[in-house]
Amino acid sequence: QASAEAARAEVQARVDRLSALNQITHGIGSQLHENTVLEVVLGPLHQLYPQQWHGVLFDDAAGGGYLARGEEDLHDLRTRWLAALGPIEQGVLVIDDLLGFMPGSVPGGSLPDEWERFRAALIVPLKVQGRRLGWLVALDKAPGAFDASDAGLFEAVGLQLALAVDNARVHQEAERLAVTDALTGLANRRAVQARVTERDTPVAVIEIDLDGFKEINDVYGHHVGDAVLVETARRIERATRADDLVARLGGDEFLVYLHRSLSRDEAHALATRIAHLIEQPMDVDGRSVSVGASVGTAVGVSSDNQDELLRRADDEMYVDKRARAHQAAAVRPVTP
């Protein structure tokens, strides 16, 4: 009777593992964002092994790492120790007792304190074309919690997870590049057009156009002009908040889109500060160059016609540009 029950339990366990693998396989292929990929993988694993902890630890350049997902709050789990474990450069490593495994096993290393709450570990390196992205990790507080069947399941999941994470990162980078100005790293016009919210929240728009930029390109060359655009972008970023959208619309035209409540006077004051910062001399290739900055502003709410907000800011910017040109002409000395 007991052996029959054990056999049935083993069959059911195999069915459950195959079901989890099938769920992951069918769910992971269509996911194009890293966090969703992790959720698709770790959800079924936790349903299958609810008493264990499952997570994905990503490697970083310093040999540390960060926790992407896990059942417990274990954001301090470090991967430096994992990086030193040569036996798991490929395949899967099952550790029956962490406390007994570490002494003398890793040169110069001992089990990190934050791992000591667990006894058993199952570790799968996530590798794509020789690049290690991180590790799929399962931990249990009971020693000897993992067997060969568990190892086979996690190894199969790890192969799929590595490819899916790599594909998601490629996709996300392509999405980022599609809305990023290649020269300055700012958002581009497409990103501005996509800046839509369903809520009625206050917004302000500041449009900036450089004066005298063409002359810099003509006199010093485009490499100096490009350096001026990059420095202009950095100066605008320094004058704004991290959650403000700073964009290069093209050429020497920039825009700041702010999701915060500003009066017309406050928006104009910020635009004036930005213009003053841009107009300070720039050191490029050992020479001092300067540009002017014409600005225009518009304030409203996010449910307003965004094209209308941009048009109002654009109109005001050109009024400012004409006034600055007229002022410059008025003070220009007359040649006898």
pLDDT for the residue numbered 292 = 95
Q: Are 164 and 156 in contact (CB under 8 A)?
A: no
pLDDT for the residue numbered 133 = 87
Residue with token string 């029959």: 4
pLDDT for the residue numbered 87 = 52
Mean pLDDT on 322-331? 76
Mean pLDDT on 274-292? 94
Mean pLDDT on 96-117? 65
pLDDT at residue 44 greater than cutoff 80? yes
Mean pLDDT on 83-93? 67
Higher model confidence: residue 262 or residue 105? 262
Provide the terminal-to-terminal Cα distance of the chain, rounded to the nearest Å: 116
Mean pLDDT on 3-24? 79
Higher model confidence: residue 187 or residue 84? 187
Rounded distance between C-alpha atoms, residue 133 and residue 58, angstroms: 6
Q: Catalogue the active-site residues.
A: 252
Q: Count helices and strands (H / E) in the chain.
A: 10, 11
pLDDT for the residue numbered 103 = 43
The pTM for the full model equals: 0.69
Percent of the chain with pLDDT over 90: 43
Per-residue model confidence as pLDDT tens digits over 165-217: 999 999 988 988 899 999 999 999 988 887 755 567 888 999 999 999 999 99
Residue 201 dihedral angles phi and psi, to the nearest 5°:
-115, 150
Per-residue model confidence as pLDDT tens digits over 223-249: 999 999 999 999 999 999 998 999 999
pLDDT for the residue numbered 336 = 44
pLDDT for the residue numbered 55 = 82
Q: Are 57 and 137 in contact (CB under 8 A)?
A: yes
Rounded distance between C-alpha atoms, residue 115 and residue 124, angstroms: 16
User: Which residues are within 8 A (CB) of 18 and not within 5 positions of it... i.e. 6 or more apart?
Assistant: none
Rounded distance between C-alpha atoms, residue 47 and residue 22, angstroms: 14
Residue 124 CB neighbours (<10 A): 27
pLDDT at residue 255 greater than cutoff 90? yes
pLDDT for the residue numbered 52 = 85
pLDDT for the residue numbered 335 = 46
Q: In the predicted model, what is the mean pLDDT of the chain?
A: 83
Higher model confidence: residue 56 or residue 128? 128
User: Which residues are within 8 A (CB) of 312 and not within 5 positions of it... i.e. 6 or more apart?
Assistant: 205, 296, 298
Mean pLDDT on 318-322? 93
